A = this chain, B = another copy of it.
Amino acid sequence: MSSPSRVVNVGADMFADAIADQATEVQRVDWRPPMVGTEADLATVAGDPLRRDANAEALKAMFAVQALLVDVAPASEVLDLKPGEFLHAGPPIAWADASGPMRGALMGAASLEGLVEDPEDAAALFESGAGVSLDPCHHHQTVGPMAGVVSPSMWMFVLEDPASGRRTYCSLNEGLGKVLRYGAYGPEVLERLRWMTAVLGPLLQTAVRQSGPVDATGILTQMLQMGDEAHNRNRAGTLMLLRDLSPAMVTSELASSDIADSLRFVGGNDHFFLNVAMPACKLALDAARGIDGSTMVVAMARNGTEFGIQTAGTGDTWFTGPAQVADGLFLGDYGPEDANPDIGDSAITETAGIGGFAMATAPAIVRLVGGSVSDALATTRRMHEITLGENPRWSVPVLDFRGVPSGIDVTRVCRTGILPQINTGMAGRVAGVGQVGAGLVTPPAEIFPEALAALASATRSRLTVELGLSDR
Protein backbone atom coordinates (compact mmCIF):
# COMPACT_ATOMS: atom_id res chain seq x y z
CA MET A 1 0.00 0.00 0.00
CA SER A 2 1.40 3.37 -0.98
CA SER A 3 0.45 6.84 0.24
CA PRO A 4 1.81 9.36 -2.26
CA SER A 5 1.24 13.07 -1.91
CA ARG A 6 -1.54 14.57 -4.00
CA VAL A 7 -1.85 18.24 -4.84
CA VAL A 8 -4.91 20.11 -5.98
CA ASN A 9 -3.80 23.03 -8.12
CA VAL A 10 -6.17 25.94 -8.63
CA GLY A 11 -5.28 28.52 -11.24
CA ALA A 12 -1.81 29.36 -12.47
CA ASP A 13 -0.26 26.27 -14.04
CA MET A 14 3.25 27.24 -12.94
CA PHE A 15 2.76 25.67 -9.53
CA ALA A 16 1.18 22.53 -10.89
CA ASP A 17 3.94 22.12 -13.44
CA ALA A 18 6.58 22.44 -10.77
CA ILE A 19 4.95 19.79 -8.64
CA ALA A 20 4.25 17.49 -11.57
CA ASP A 21 7.93 17.76 -12.48
CA GLN A 22 8.61 16.21 -9.11
CA ALA A 23 6.51 13.20 -10.16
CA THR A 24 3.70 14.04 -7.76
CA GLU A 25 0.09 13.55 -8.82
CA VAL A 26 -1.60 16.87 -9.52
CA GLN A 27 -5.28 17.53 -10.08
CA ARG A 28 -5.70 20.75 -12.04
CA VAL A 29 -8.81 22.85 -11.45
CA ASP A 30 -9.41 25.60 -13.98
CA TRP A 31 -9.88 28.79 -12.02
CA ARG A 32 -8.83 32.28 -12.90
CA PRO A 33 -9.68 35.68 -11.49
CA PRO A 34 -12.48 37.62 -13.22
CA MET A 35 -11.53 39.74 -16.21
CA VAL A 36 -9.92 42.97 -15.08
CA GLY A 37 -12.37 45.79 -14.38
CA THR A 38 -15.50 43.65 -14.58
CA GLU A 39 -16.16 43.29 -10.85
CA ALA A 40 -18.66 46.16 -10.54
CA ASP A 41 -20.59 45.20 -13.67
CA LEU A 42 -20.60 41.55 -12.61
CA ALA A 43 -22.07 42.60 -9.26
CA THR A 44 -24.73 44.72 -10.95
CA VAL A 45 -25.78 42.00 -13.37
CA ALA A 46 -25.64 39.37 -10.63
CA GLY A 47 -28.09 41.51 -8.69
CA ASP A 48 -30.54 41.77 -11.60
CA PRO A 49 -33.72 40.04 -10.45
CA LEU A 50 -34.60 39.27 -14.10
CA ARG A 51 -31.37 37.50 -14.95
CA ARG A 52 -32.01 33.95 -13.82
CA ASP A 53 -35.46 33.65 -15.41
CA ALA A 54 -34.40 35.58 -18.51
CA ASN A 55 -31.51 33.19 -19.12
CA ALA A 56 -33.72 30.17 -18.49
CA GLU A 57 -36.21 31.59 -21.00
CA ALA A 58 -33.47 32.23 -23.57
CA LEU A 59 -32.13 28.71 -23.22
CA LYS A 60 -35.59 27.18 -23.41
CA ALA A 61 -36.47 29.21 -26.51
CA MET A 62 -33.25 28.10 -28.22
CA PHE A 63 -33.78 24.42 -27.38
CA ALA A 64 -37.42 24.49 -28.53
CA VAL A 65 -36.57 25.29 -32.14
CA GLN A 66 -36.70 22.50 -34.68
CA ALA A 67 -34.96 23.57 -37.87
CA LEU A 68 -36.41 22.10 -41.06
CA LEU A 69 -34.86 22.50 -44.49
CA VAL A 70 -38.00 23.53 -46.39
CA ASP A 71 -36.74 25.03 -49.64
CA VAL A 72 -33.80 26.00 -51.81
CA ALA A 73 -34.22 29.21 -53.84
CA PRO A 74 -32.29 32.23 -55.21
CA ALA A 75 -31.36 35.07 -52.85
CA SER A 76 -33.11 37.49 -55.20
CA GLU A 77 -36.39 35.73 -54.37
CA VAL A 78 -36.14 34.75 -50.73
CA LEU A 79 -34.06 37.70 -49.49
CA ASP A 80 -35.32 40.20 -52.05
CA LEU A 81 -31.69 41.06 -52.85
CA LYS A 82 -31.43 43.55 -55.74
CA PRO A 83 -28.57 43.91 -58.22
CA GLY A 84 -25.67 45.63 -56.49
CA GLU A 85 -26.71 44.48 -53.01
CA PHE A 86 -24.24 42.20 -51.27
CA LEU A 87 -24.38 40.48 -47.88
CA HIS A 88 -21.24 39.57 -45.96
CA ALA A 89 -20.18 37.72 -42.82
CA GLY A 90 -19.73 39.29 -39.41
CA PRO A 91 -20.62 42.68 -38.00
CA PRO A 92 -21.03 45.69 -40.36
CA ILE A 93 -17.96 46.70 -42.33
CA ALA A 94 -17.08 49.17 -45.09
CA TRP A 95 -15.01 48.28 -48.15
CA ALA A 96 -12.19 50.48 -46.84
CA ASP A 97 -11.85 48.29 -43.75
CA ALA A 98 -12.39 44.94 -45.47
CA SER A 99 -9.67 42.27 -45.41
CA GLY A 100 -8.21 40.55 -48.47
CA PRO A 101 -10.52 37.52 -48.50
CA MET A 102 -13.60 39.70 -47.92
CA ARG A 103 -12.58 41.93 -50.83
CA GLY A 104 -11.78 38.95 -53.03
CA ALA A 105 -15.17 37.39 -52.40
CA LEU A 106 -16.99 40.65 -53.10
CA MET A 107 -15.01 41.14 -56.32
CA GLY A 108 -15.88 37.62 -57.47
CA ALA A 109 -19.53 38.11 -56.60
CA ALA A 110 -19.66 41.42 -58.50
CA SER A 111 -18.34 39.63 -61.58
CA LEU A 112 -20.77 36.72 -61.05
CA GLU A 113 -23.62 39.27 -61.03
CA GLY A 114 -22.35 40.90 -64.22
CA LEU A 115 -21.57 44.27 -62.62
CA VAL A 116 -18.05 43.97 -64.00
CA GLU A 117 -16.49 41.65 -66.54
CA ASP A 118 -13.17 41.17 -64.77
CA PRO A 119 -13.30 40.74 -60.98
CA GLU A 120 -10.25 43.01 -60.72
CA ASP A 121 -12.37 45.90 -61.95
CA ALA A 122 -14.76 45.49 -59.04
CA ALA A 123 -12.31 47.02 -56.56
CA ALA A 124 -12.85 50.47 -58.04
CA LEU A 125 -16.59 49.90 -58.04
CA PHE A 126 -16.70 49.07 -54.34
CA GLU A 127 -14.32 51.91 -53.57
CA SER A 128 -16.62 54.38 -55.28
CA GLY A 129 -19.69 52.78 -53.73
CA ALA A 130 -21.69 53.61 -56.84
CA GLY A 131 -24.68 51.30 -57.16
CA VAL A 132 -23.37 48.79 -54.62
CA SER A 133 -24.10 48.26 -50.95
CA LEU A 134 -22.80 45.97 -48.20
CA ASP A 135 -24.85 44.63 -45.33
CA PRO A 136 -24.25 41.87 -42.77
CA CYS A 137 -25.88 38.50 -43.45
CA HIS A 138 -27.07 38.52 -39.84
CA HIS A 139 -29.25 41.56 -40.57
CA HIS A 140 -31.14 39.45 -43.14
CA GLN A 141 -31.81 36.24 -41.16
CA THR A 142 -28.81 34.85 -43.00
CA VAL A 143 -25.44 33.38 -42.14
CA GLY A 144 -22.46 32.87 -44.43
CA PRO A 145 -19.29 30.84 -43.83
CA MET A 146 -15.91 32.64 -44.17
CA ALA A 147 -16.41 35.83 -46.25
CA GLY A 148 -20.07 34.87 -46.35
CA VAL A 149 -20.77 36.94 -49.42
CA VAL A 150 -24.27 36.52 -50.82
CA SER A 151 -25.37 38.09 -54.09
CA PRO A 152 -28.80 38.00 -55.76
CA SER A 153 -28.22 35.06 -58.13
CA MET A 154 -26.90 32.68 -55.47
CA TRP A 155 -29.20 29.90 -54.34
CA MET A 156 -29.96 29.63 -50.62
CA PHE A 157 -30.94 26.90 -48.21
CA VAL A 158 -34.17 27.95 -46.48
CA LEU A 159 -34.62 26.70 -42.91
CA GLU A 160 -37.90 27.08 -41.03
CA ASP A 161 -39.05 26.61 -37.47
CA PRO A 162 -42.53 25.11 -37.95
CA ALA A 163 -43.81 26.39 -34.59
CA SER A 164 -43.14 30.06 -35.35
CA GLY A 165 -42.81 30.08 -39.12
CA ARG A 166 -39.52 31.97 -38.73
CA ARG A 167 -36.94 31.35 -41.47
CA THR A 168 -33.17 31.59 -41.85
CA TYR A 169 -30.96 31.31 -44.91
CA CYS A 170 -27.51 30.26 -46.09
CA SER A 171 -25.89 29.90 -49.51
CA LEU A 172 -24.82 26.51 -50.91
CA ASN A 173 -21.35 25.25 -50.00
CA GLU A 174 -18.78 25.35 -52.81
CA GLY A 175 -16.24 22.85 -51.44
CA LEU A 176 -12.68 23.55 -50.32
CA GLY A 177 -9.56 25.23 -51.64
CA LYS A 178 -9.99 27.91 -54.30
CA VAL A 179 -13.54 29.00 -53.51
CA LEU A 180 -15.27 32.36 -53.22
CA ARG A 181 -15.90 32.20 -49.49
CA TYR A 182 -12.14 31.93 -48.89
CA GLY A 183 -11.58 35.00 -51.09
CA ALA A 184 -10.68 33.28 -54.37
CA TYR A 185 -12.29 34.65 -57.53
CA GLY A 186 -10.51 33.00 -60.47
CA PRO A 187 -12.35 31.67 -63.53
CA GLU A 188 -12.78 28.18 -61.99
CA VAL A 189 -14.43 29.75 -58.93
CA LEU A 190 -16.95 31.67 -61.02
CA GLU A 191 -17.57 28.72 -63.32
CA ARG A 192 -18.41 26.53 -60.32
CA LEU A 193 -20.76 29.19 -58.94
CA ARG A 194 -22.53 29.45 -62.31
CA TRP A 195 -22.97 25.68 -62.38
CA MET A 196 -24.38 25.80 -58.84
CA THR A 197 -26.88 28.45 -59.94
CA ALA A 198 -27.82 26.69 -63.16
CA VAL A 199 -27.86 23.03 -62.06
CA LEU A 200 -27.32 22.30 -58.38
CA GLY A 201 -29.71 24.90 -56.94
CA PRO A 202 -32.69 24.00 -59.13
CA LEU A 203 -32.09 20.25 -58.58
CA LEU A 204 -31.95 20.69 -54.80
CA GLN A 205 -35.08 22.83 -54.95
CA THR A 206 -36.94 20.10 -56.82
CA ALA A 207 -35.67 17.42 -54.44
CA VAL A 208 -36.55 19.33 -51.25
CA ARG A 209 -39.98 20.30 -52.56
CA GLN A 210 -40.71 16.72 -53.67
CA SER A 211 -39.33 14.92 -50.64
CA GLY A 212 -40.72 17.36 -48.08
CA PRO A 213 -38.86 19.08 -45.23
CA VAL A 214 -35.55 17.60 -44.07
CA ASP A 215 -35.09 17.65 -40.28
CA ALA A 216 -31.77 19.51 -39.94
CA THR A 217 -31.94 19.50 -36.13
CA GLY A 218 -32.39 15.72 -36.20
CA ILE A 219 -29.48 15.24 -38.58
CA LEU A 220 -27.36 17.33 -36.20
CA THR A 221 -28.36 14.98 -33.37
CA GLN A 222 -27.10 12.02 -35.41
CA MET A 223 -23.95 13.80 -36.61
CA LEU A 224 -22.79 14.29 -33.03
CA GLN A 225 -22.88 10.50 -32.68
CA MET A 226 -20.90 10.13 -35.90
CA GLY A 227 -17.74 12.10 -35.28
CA ASP A 228 -18.98 15.41 -36.69
CA GLU A 229 -19.00 18.58 -34.61
CA ALA A 230 -20.79 20.41 -37.45
CA HIS A 231 -18.33 23.23 -37.95
CA ASN A 232 -15.20 21.73 -39.48
CA ARG A 233 -16.46 18.15 -39.68
CA ASN A 234 -19.76 17.77 -41.53
CA ARG A 235 -19.00 14.47 -43.23
CA ALA A 236 -21.81 12.39 -41.74
CA GLY A 237 -24.25 15.29 -42.02
CA THR A 238 -23.48 15.71 -45.70
CA LEU A 239 -24.02 11.99 -46.28
CA MET A 240 -27.34 12.03 -44.42
CA LEU A 241 -28.52 15.01 -46.46
CA LEU A 242 -27.62 13.09 -49.62
CA ARG A 243 -29.44 10.02 -48.28
CA ASP A 244 -32.58 12.08 -47.66
CA LEU A 245 -32.58 13.98 -50.96
CA SER A 246 -31.13 11.53 -53.49
CA PRO A 247 -34.33 9.50 -54.10
CA ALA A 248 -36.24 12.67 -55.02
CA MET A 249 -33.26 13.87 -57.08
CA VAL A 250 -33.45 10.66 -59.11
CA THR A 251 -37.14 11.03 -59.88
CA SER A 252 -36.84 14.77 -60.62
CA GLU A 253 -36.75 14.26 -64.42
CA LEU A 254 -33.71 16.47 -64.74
CA ALA A 255 -30.93 15.07 -66.94
CA SER A 256 -29.40 12.02 -65.30
CA SER A 257 -25.90 13.32 -66.03
CA ASP A 258 -26.72 16.52 -64.09
CA ILE A 259 -28.09 14.44 -61.23
CA ALA A 260 -24.97 12.25 -61.19
CA ASP A 261 -22.73 15.35 -61.32
CA SER A 262 -24.62 16.86 -58.41
CA LEU A 263 -24.38 13.65 -56.36
CA ARG A 264 -20.63 13.59 -57.01
CA PHE A 265 -20.26 17.27 -56.15
CA VAL A 266 -22.10 16.99 -52.83
CA GLY A 267 -20.64 13.57 -52.01
CA GLY A 268 -17.14 14.88 -52.69
CA ASN A 269 -17.53 17.85 -50.35
CA ASP A 270 -17.53 16.83 -46.68
CA HIS A 271 -18.42 20.40 -45.72
CA PHE A 272 -21.62 20.64 -47.73
CA PHE A 273 -23.86 20.26 -44.68
CA LEU A 274 -22.13 23.16 -42.86
CA ASN A 275 -24.37 25.53 -44.82
CA VAL A 276 -27.43 23.73 -43.43
CA ALA A 277 -26.05 23.45 -39.89
CA MET A 278 -25.30 27.19 -39.69
CA PRO A 279 -28.79 28.51 -40.46
CA ALA A 280 -30.22 25.75 -38.23
CA CYS A 281 -28.12 27.17 -35.38
CA LYS A 282 -29.12 30.75 -36.21
CA LEU A 283 -32.78 29.76 -36.29
CA ALA A 284 -32.45 28.36 -32.76
CA LEU A 285 -30.46 31.33 -31.41
CA ASP A 286 -32.71 33.97 -32.96
CA ALA A 287 -35.53 32.56 -30.81
CA ALA A 288 -33.59 33.85 -27.79
CA ARG A 289 -33.18 37.43 -29.04
CA GLY A 290 -34.74 40.38 -27.27
CA ILE A 291 -35.09 38.94 -23.78
CA ASP A 292 -34.50 41.69 -21.22
CA GLY A 293 -32.01 40.68 -18.58
CA SER A 294 -30.61 37.69 -20.43
CA THR A 295 -26.82 37.60 -20.58
CA MET A 296 -26.77 34.85 -23.20
CA VAL A 297 -24.78 35.33 -26.42
CA VAL A 298 -27.03 34.93 -29.49
CA ALA A 299 -24.45 35.55 -32.22
CA MET A 300 -20.69 35.40 -32.67
CA ALA A 301 -19.54 36.51 -36.12
CA ARG A 302 -16.39 37.75 -37.81
CA ASN A 303 -15.93 39.86 -40.92
CA GLY A 304 -12.19 39.20 -41.27
CA THR A 305 -11.33 42.47 -39.55
CA GLU A 306 -13.54 42.50 -36.46
CA PHE A 307 -15.10 39.86 -34.26
CA GLY A 308 -18.57 40.77 -32.98
CA ILE A 309 -21.08 39.33 -30.55
CA GLN A 310 -24.71 40.10 -29.80
CA THR A 311 -26.55 39.12 -26.63
CA ALA A 312 -30.18 38.32 -25.86
CA GLY A 313 -30.48 41.30 -23.52
CA THR A 314 -28.90 44.02 -25.67
CA GLY A 315 -30.94 44.01 -28.89
CA ASP A 316 -29.12 44.49 -32.17
CA THR A 317 -25.95 46.04 -30.72
CA TRP A 318 -22.69 44.45 -31.83
CA PHE A 319 -19.80 44.34 -29.36
CA THR A 320 -16.67 44.19 -31.46
CA GLY A 321 -12.93 43.89 -31.24
CA PRO A 322 -10.10 42.91 -33.58
CA ALA A 323 -10.39 39.40 -35.08
CA GLN A 324 -7.52 37.09 -34.10
CA VAL A 325 -5.43 34.81 -36.30
CA ALA A 326 -6.12 31.13 -35.64
CA ASP A 327 -3.49 28.75 -34.34
CA GLY A 328 -3.51 25.56 -36.37
CA LEU A 329 -2.31 23.51 -39.31
CA PHE A 330 -1.49 24.88 -42.74
CA LEU A 331 -2.02 23.53 -46.25
CA GLY A 332 1.08 22.98 -48.41
CA ASP A 333 3.71 25.65 -47.91
CA TYR A 334 1.44 28.19 -46.26
CA GLY A 335 2.30 29.47 -42.80
CA PRO A 336 0.90 31.80 -40.12
CA GLU A 337 2.05 34.88 -42.03
CA ASP A 338 -0.24 33.93 -44.92
CA ALA A 339 -3.38 33.70 -42.79
CA ASN A 340 -6.08 36.33 -42.56
CA PRO A 341 -7.60 37.07 -39.16
CA ASP A 342 -10.65 35.04 -38.22
CA ILE A 343 -13.59 35.40 -40.62
CA GLY A 344 -17.12 34.09 -41.05
CA ASP A 345 -20.53 33.64 -39.50
CA SER A 346 -19.76 29.96 -38.89
CA ALA A 347 -19.08 30.67 -35.21
CA ILE A 348 -22.87 30.53 -34.97
CA THR A 349 -22.24 26.79 -34.49
CA GLU A 350 -20.18 27.42 -31.35
CA THR A 351 -22.77 29.94 -30.19
CA ALA A 352 -25.29 27.09 -30.38
CA GLY A 353 -23.03 24.65 -28.50
CA ILE A 354 -21.49 22.64 -31.33
CA GLY A 355 -18.37 23.20 -33.46
CA GLY A 356 -15.46 23.92 -31.09
CA PHE A 357 -17.81 23.40 -28.12
CA ALA A 358 -18.50 19.79 -29.21
CA MET A 359 -14.97 18.80 -30.17
CA ALA A 360 -15.12 15.92 -27.68
CA THR A 361 -17.51 14.17 -30.02
CA ALA A 362 -15.23 14.58 -33.02
CA PRO A 363 -11.72 13.68 -31.81
CA ALA A 364 -10.57 13.01 -35.38
CA ILE A 365 -10.84 16.75 -36.00
CA VAL A 366 -7.50 17.34 -34.26
CA ARG A 367 -5.91 16.02 -37.45
CA LEU A 368 -7.42 19.04 -39.25
CA VAL A 369 -7.29 21.87 -36.73
CA GLY A 370 -4.40 20.76 -34.53
CA GLY A 371 -4.19 19.98 -30.83
CA SER A 372 -4.50 16.59 -29.15
CA VAL A 373 -7.43 14.30 -28.49
CA SER A 374 -7.26 15.06 -24.80
CA ASP A 375 -7.42 18.77 -25.65
CA ALA A 376 -10.59 18.10 -27.63
CA LEU A 377 -12.22 16.37 -24.68
CA ALA A 378 -11.00 19.05 -22.28
CA THR A 379 -12.34 21.82 -24.51
CA THR A 380 -15.90 20.55 -24.36
CA ARG A 381 -15.66 20.12 -20.60
CA ARG A 382 -14.24 23.66 -20.27
CA MET A 383 -17.04 25.16 -22.34
CA HIS A 384 -19.52 23.81 -19.79
CA GLU A 385 -18.01 26.36 -17.38
CA ILE A 386 -19.17 29.33 -19.47
CA THR A 387 -22.53 28.07 -20.67
CA LEU A 388 -26.00 28.13 -19.18
CA GLY A 389 -27.06 24.56 -19.87
CA GLU A 390 -26.88 21.36 -21.87
CA ASN A 391 -28.82 20.69 -25.04
CA PRO A 392 -31.21 17.77 -24.46
CA ARG A 393 -31.24 16.85 -28.18
CA TRP A 394 -27.56 17.16 -28.95
CA SER A 395 -25.43 14.90 -26.81
CA VAL A 396 -21.84 13.67 -26.76
CA PRO A 397 -21.71 9.87 -26.42
CA VAL A 398 -18.13 9.69 -25.15
CA LEU A 399 -18.98 12.11 -22.31
CA ASP A 400 -21.72 9.71 -21.20
CA PHE A 401 -24.25 11.37 -23.50
CA ARG A 402 -23.96 14.72 -21.73
CA GLY A 403 -25.70 17.46 -23.71
CA VAL A 404 -23.45 19.92 -25.54
CA PRO A 405 -22.52 23.07 -23.57
CA SER A 406 -25.11 25.60 -24.72
CA GLY A 407 -25.88 29.26 -24.25
CA ILE A 408 -22.67 31.21 -23.71
CA ASP A 409 -23.14 33.39 -20.65
CA VAL A 410 -21.34 36.76 -20.80
CA THR A 411 -21.15 36.85 -17.00
CA ARG A 412 -19.51 33.44 -16.80
CA VAL A 413 -16.98 34.39 -19.48
CA CYS A 414 -16.10 37.57 -17.56
CA ARG A 415 -16.05 35.81 -14.19
CA THR A 416 -13.75 32.98 -15.33
CA GLY A 417 -11.79 34.57 -18.14
CA ILE A 418 -12.46 31.43 -20.17
CA LEU A 419 -13.10 32.40 -23.79
CA PRO A 420 -15.35 30.51 -26.19
CA GLN A 421 -13.35 28.01 -28.26
CA ILE A 422 -13.92 28.20 -32.00
CA ASN A 423 -12.46 25.91 -34.63
CA THR A 424 -12.23 27.40 -38.06
CA GLY A 425 -10.89 27.36 -41.57
CA MET A 426 -8.23 29.96 -42.35
CA ALA A 427 -8.40 32.15 -45.44
CA GLY A 428 -5.31 33.55 -47.11
CA ARG A 429 -4.97 37.22 -46.20
CA VAL A 430 -4.39 38.20 -49.82
CA ALA A 431 -7.50 38.45 -52.00
CA GLY A 432 -7.68 35.56 -54.46
CA VAL A 433 -5.60 33.01 -52.52
CA GLY A 434 -8.33 30.84 -50.98
CA GLN A 435 -7.90 28.52 -48.01
CA VAL A 436 -4.49 28.26 -46.32
CA GLY A 437 -5.29 26.13 -43.26
CA ALA A 438 -7.53 25.39 -40.32
CA GLY A 439 -7.12 25.91 -36.61
CA LEU A 440 -8.35 27.05 -33.24
CA VAL A 441 -9.21 30.61 -32.30
CA THR A 442 -11.05 32.62 -29.66
CA PRO A 443 -12.86 35.95 -29.72
CA PRO A 444 -10.86 38.99 -28.57
CA ALA A 445 -11.32 38.97 -24.77
CA GLU A 446 -12.37 42.62 -24.50
CA ILE A 447 -15.73 42.22 -26.22
CA PHE A 448 -17.16 40.31 -23.26
CA PRO A 449 -16.51 43.12 -20.73
CA GLU A 450 -17.97 45.51 -23.37
CA ALA A 451 -21.13 43.41 -23.58
CA LEU A 452 -21.21 43.05 -19.80
CA ALA A 453 -21.02 46.83 -19.39
CA ALA A 454 -24.01 47.26 -21.71
CA LEU A 455 -25.92 44.56 -19.85
CA ALA A 456 -25.06 46.24 -16.52
CA SER A 457 -26.10 49.60 -17.88
CA ALA A 458 -29.43 48.15 -19.03
CA THR A 459 -29.88 46.57 -15.61
CA ARG A 460 -29.19 49.87 -13.86
CA SER A 461 -31.61 51.76 -16.13
CA ARG A 462 -34.29 49.18 -15.55
CA LEU A 463 -33.80 49.09 -11.79
CA THR A 464 -33.81 52.91 -11.64
CA VAL A 465 -37.07 53.08 -13.55
CA GLU A 466 -38.57 50.39 -11.37
CA LEU A 467 -37.46 52.17 -8.20
CA GLY A 468 -38.85 55.41 -9.62
CA LEU A 469 -42.17 53.75 -10.30
CA SER A 470 -42.31 52.23 -6.84
CA ASP A 471 -41.74 55.72 -5.34
CA ARG A 472 -44.84 57.11 -7.01
Contact = CB atoms under 8 A, between A and B. Distances in A.
Interface in A251-265: 251, 253, 256-257, 259-261, 263-264
A267 B246 contact: yes
A128 interface: no
The DSSP consensus for interface residues of chain A is helix
A251 B256 contact: yes
Interface string A216-228: 0000001001111
Contacts of A363: 397-398
Interface residues of A, number: 47
Interface in A216-244: 222, 225-228, 235-236, 239-240, 242-244
A2 B26 CA distance: 11
A164 interface: no
A20 B449 CA distance: 46
A4 interface: yes
A372 B397 CA distance: 10
Interface string A1-30: 111111110000000000000000000000
A247 B226 contact: no
A387 B334 CA distance: 42
Contacts of A243: 239, 242, 263, 267
A255 to B, nearest CB: 10
Contact of A246 (B226, B263, B364): B263
Contact of A227 (B240, B260, B397, B401): B397
B263 A257 contact: no
A212 to B, nearest CB: 13
Contact of A251 (B248, B249, B257): B257
A402 B257 CA distance: 42
A2 B9 CA distance: 12
A250 interface: yes
Given A227-B225, A256-B251, A5 B6 contact: no
A373 interface: yes
A400 interface: yes
B6 A3 contact: yes
A236 B248 CA distance: 21
B260 A251 contact: yes
A308 B373 CA distance: 38
Contact of A373 (B2, B222, B253, B398): B398
Nearest to A2: B6
Contacts of A246: 242, 246, 263, 267
Interface string A368-384: 00001110010000000
B1 A7 contact: yes
Interface string A95-120: 00000000000000000000000000
Given A227-B227, A260-B251, A398-B398, A5 B3 contact: yes
Contacts of A249: 250
A406 to B, nearest CB: 20
A381 to B, nearest CB: 14
A208 to B, nearest CB: 15
Contacts of A226: 226-228, 235-236
A4 B6 contact: yes
Contact of A260 (B250, B257, B399): B250
B267 A256 contact: no
A372 to B, nearest CB: 7
Contacts of A397: 227, 363-364, 366, 373
A372 B400 contact: yes
Contacts of A399: 373
A398 B259 CA distance: 37
A247 B248 CA distance: 14
26 contacts: A1-B5, A2-B5, A3-B5, A4-B6, A226-B226, A226-B235, A227-B227, A227-B236, A235-B236, A236-B236, A236-B239, A239-B240, A239-B242, A242-B246, A243-B267, A246-B263, A247-B264, A247-B267, A249-B250, A250-B250, A250-B259, A251-B260, A256-B256, A364-B397, A366-B397, A398-B398
Interface of A: 1-8, 222, 225-228, 235-236, 239-240, 242-244, 246-251, 253, 256-257, 259-261, 263-264, 267, 363-364, 366, 372-374, 377, 397-401
What are the 10 closest A-B residue pairs judged by CB atoms, nearest first? Answer: A239-B239, A363-B397, A243-B267, A247-B260, A225-B364, A364-B397, A226-B227, A250-B260, A247-B263, A226-B226
